[in-house]
Structure 1
């Protein structure tokens, strides 16, 4: 069955390999492995990075006016009064010419406020949830806003359960789970020097929720010179942004650990893949309930053992491919790393286990799962 899939990503986000943002990464993975007969298209705001993924047709639109700070603060009140949220304005710009599109499946990424903007007499609409999106929505507003959705796709069971709690009973059966995947052609093992110190890597935004400070506390507790940690990331998706107070604290803690820690600012995805290819262990020490954590599978595909926090959807990403520790517990994290540093055989076994786990979730599998879900929900309603 031919089906035109139109992905609408966050206005202002970049459909580019330069960004580490989760939504473009997922859309690229799905589009690069779209089933035969599917025509993936991505709507991208003009002015975003010009070097774009070639996995889908890219259609530019003129960005709309972003709501101001007070508009955003008043949005929950607007929703409670049954008035359209101001945060829907940028999405309206992306959808302005939808009457000219052939019947399509419009996939709105992280945009519940945009669902009512889609003409459901012509198109099917899918809300793709990468994060918890309905915390400021009452069940009544959720019913009014999401009544037209064909499906609400969540990236983990954890996120799906959180989402169902915010929905009225009539909409809960529209929630489905399609877990994220990994590109094994980009993230793959490289050369590792068995005689070098154990190389441990953190990749992510350098913010408190991601827990790089917990990793540094663990390194301090270990007090050994045969473990080296590299922290890759900035507060956002640019290496040139000014350092935040938290980043300065992380760097000060790293300086106290001398040559046992290296700090590298944000890197594009190709450089991240190079870093992970020579890493022995990837640590995901998040202290907030991440819906999935793409870095888990990326580290695994690169051949690294994974030690991650037991919180949110991270255990679903790890499955049986890594070690889970309590979030915010540097002692437990240090103990897990000590085991891998002390036993080359255990490290090799964990790395092999991680590679097998990553091999289960290539984007081709994820794309096929999404296609099967859409086929079941649409029942042939939207075809080219």
Structure 2
């Protein structure tokens, strides 16, 4: 039986945490002993629902307040978290760090078992690259969720692997019956600035209609002001005389059911995505996708969608019009997207590959310890 300790960098739940939850749930179903160290937040409750033992950690983000006070407070938090992780790792065969924010704690913890970092970020900012390099001595392997992720980490001095994100497969294709009289263009993304909702709304203002725009996704507490701004901008677009209706749906309990009613799905992120689950989910349903041309999105789509420059509302609007006006193009994107998911992004297979990597790291450590 393999004993796995995961270390989450946040207690909130977004795409990276959804991936982690799926991995840990599968590991438990295969007989692994699984625990997860995590800060307070919704993630802990969902971990417990999956039967995962939770090791409490303090908040790992930068403390608020003047820098002279915030930095020592943050370092003190990291030190407490590292001590908790070090204790929990004594009973583990392998440690899995999830996302960039877990790295400082893993570096300070000096865990004896091998530490694998599951990287969900295309690391572009120099300060974040420095965090990776400083943390590299603690890592036995980095697993990126796309080649776009690992390409940025080539100089870190750690073995690199790629295991793409996956989604449930097979799923029935989206063929709404009856077809909507007004086409629906949807966004499924956390309401946070870098997801590009403001670009979507600027693009929506350029459409002649009739068209309905649906913005689906929850929000983190820190983004309440941004979410309010999105709602106001959506109302302003809807009040115009261009026959464009925009609705902010917020969190939806069954997002796939809503996505089945969409004509086109958008991923307008202004920062590069690593291996976007929202794009994969739309592809699995056969909903044509328009995505920004950076990070892992081109890698995921692999020609089965339309790419546009990031932060360009005119190009985004033109791509939407192109798909809405060309049913044959939509059909080609639909078939190609589903084929791509079936070939390279099945959740069951991708999770199996990741668990095999973790088991191999644990086995290699046991061999080394026995010598």
The alignment's TM-score, normalised by the length of structure 2, stands at 0.81
Give per-residue Cα distances to partners, 1:309-349, cap 9 Å, x unaligned.
Answer: 11122111222322212222333323322232223333223
SS in 1 for 2:358: helix
Q: Does 1:147 align with 2:146?
A: no
Mark the CA change 1:73 to 1:37 in structure 2 (over 3 Å): closer, same or farther.
farther
CA distance in 2, matches of 1:45, 1:164: 30
Quick check: 302-311 or 184-193, which moved more?
184-193
Which of 206, 217, 221 is the matching residue for 2:191?
Answer: 206
When residues 253 and 224 of structure 1 are mapped into structure 2, their CA distance, relative to the original with a 3 A threshold, is: closer
Residue of structure 1 in register with 2:337 after alignment = 354
Q: CA deviation at 1:220?
A: 3.3
Between the aligned partners of 1:187 and 1:41, the Cα distance in structure 2 is 34
1:11–1:91 CA contact under 8 A, matched in 2: no
- The two structures have a TM-score, normalised by structure 1, of 0.79
The residue number in structure 2 matching 1:68 is: 63
In the aligned structure 2, how far is the partner of 1:137 from the partner of 1:206? 23
How far is the alpha carbon of 1:274 from its aligned partner? 1.8
Superposed, 1:117-266 pairs within 5 Å as 117-121=108-112, 123-132=113-122, 135-136=126-127, 145-165=135-155, 167=156, 171-172=157-158, 174-184=159-169, 189=174, 191-194=176-179, 196-225=181-210, 227-233=211-217, 235-236=219-220, 243-245=227-229, 247-256=231-240, 260-266=244-250
Instruction: Determine if contact 1:8/1:107 at 8 Å carries over to the other structure.
Output: yes
Q: 1:107, CA displacement in angstroms?
A: 0.6
Relative distance call for 1:332 and 1:126 in structure 2 (3 A) is: same
Aligned residue number for residue 43 of structure 1 = 37
Query: Contact conserved, 1:158 with 1:291, CA < 8 A, in 2?
Result: yes
Corresponding residue of 2:323:
340
- Residues 45 and 94 in structure 1, CA contact (< 8 A), matched pair in contact too: no
SS at match of 1:95: helix
* Contact 1:233–1:267 (CA under 8 A) maintained in structure 2: yes
**Structure with the bigger percentage of helix:** 2
Partner of 2:280: 297
Once the two structures are superposed, what CA deviation does each residue of 1:137-161 show, in whole Å capped at 9, x if it has no partner?
Answer: 676x755532131111222222212
Alignment partner of 1:58 is 2:52: yes
| Aligned-partner Cα distance in 2 for 1:138–1:210 | 21
Counterpart secondary structure, 1:283:
strand
Provide the aligned C-alpha RMSD in A: 3.6
Where structure 1 has 5 or more consecutive residues not aligned to the other structure, the ranges are 14-18, 79-83
